Structure 1
């Protein structure tokens, strides 16, 4: 029998250790670790404007905004409140509507306000407008309407036919 070269036994031990299954954590433990990591992340000056219960989606949007891959569209609601919504640079009207819906849902969940809005009713009752032009085509890109970073779109009530 040939002698094993030096280090072969150590390599076999390392391989055996590498094959051990990783330590399994309970869902609650993983969630806690994730929340702690997010809390550390939002202390970064780039992300300090985000709420404490931030989502990974919100962090991604903020980073995309910083790198110029996204833009903020201010949506002026019928009650006069302005909501900043982050969308990708080449977003369509439909993507803006979805981002607005997500933003409002997250805010409601954090504040404990009204838990359900009928978005079907909202889009049936209101148009989004920019510089007096209705954003009527959901497939059309925001830039085709001339919407750029920090521009403001408004809700306007539809007229009855």
Structure 2
């Protein structure tokens, strides 16, 4: 394990991967490499509090894959910062919609490109209205 950590520390010093945090995961390295080779894209998710979270997904990702990537990103960030350890994602998706250009991303199976979402586009959380 110690050898792996040393190799990972050297790897993160590479100019291509220098943006990654010191406690990087193999998944984050894979995402960054895929991004550099054009196999992935960054979708900026704007939270209700105004914070923007960059999420990396594959080029042909679905809405569900974006939601899962957002969840992984937030969980990793919370673990590193020592913040709230548990969020109810069931509650979040029951309370908020993801939207792009005023359109709800309602169908989890639909591809992001079908909604017109491209690299570096911004998706927002919008609170659902009560019926």
SS for the counterpart of 1:54 is coil
- Encode CA deviations 1:95-119: one digit per residue, 9 max, x unaligned: 0000000000000000000000000
The two structures have a TM-score, normalised by structure 2, of 1.00
Q: Distance in 1 between matches of 2:4 and 2:88?
A: 32
Distance apart, 1:53 and its partner CA: 0.2
- Encode CA deviations 1:38-59: one digit per residue, 9 max, x unaligned: 1000000000000000000000
Distance apart, 1:32 and its partner CA: 1.2
- The within-5 A match list for 1:76-155 is 76-155=46-125
Q: Distance in 2 between matches of 1:33 and 1:120?
A: 39
- RMSD (Å) for aligned C-alpha atoms: 0.3
Distance apart, 1:134 and its partner CA: 0.1
The two structures have a TM-score, normalised by structure 1, of 0.81
Q: Distance in 2 between matches of 1:33 and 1:135?
A: 44
Distance apart, 1:33 and its partner CA: 1.1
Comparing 34-43 and 120-129, the one that deviates more: 34-43
Distance apart, 1:70 and its partner CA: 0.0
The number of residues matched between the two structures is 131
- Encode CA deviations 1:24-43: one digit per residue, 9 max, x unaligned: xxxxxxx1111111100000
Report which of the two structures shows the higher radius of gyration computed on alpha carbons: 1
**4+ runs of 1 displaced by more than 3 Å?**
none
Which structure 2 residue ranges, 5 or more long, are not aligned?
Answer: none
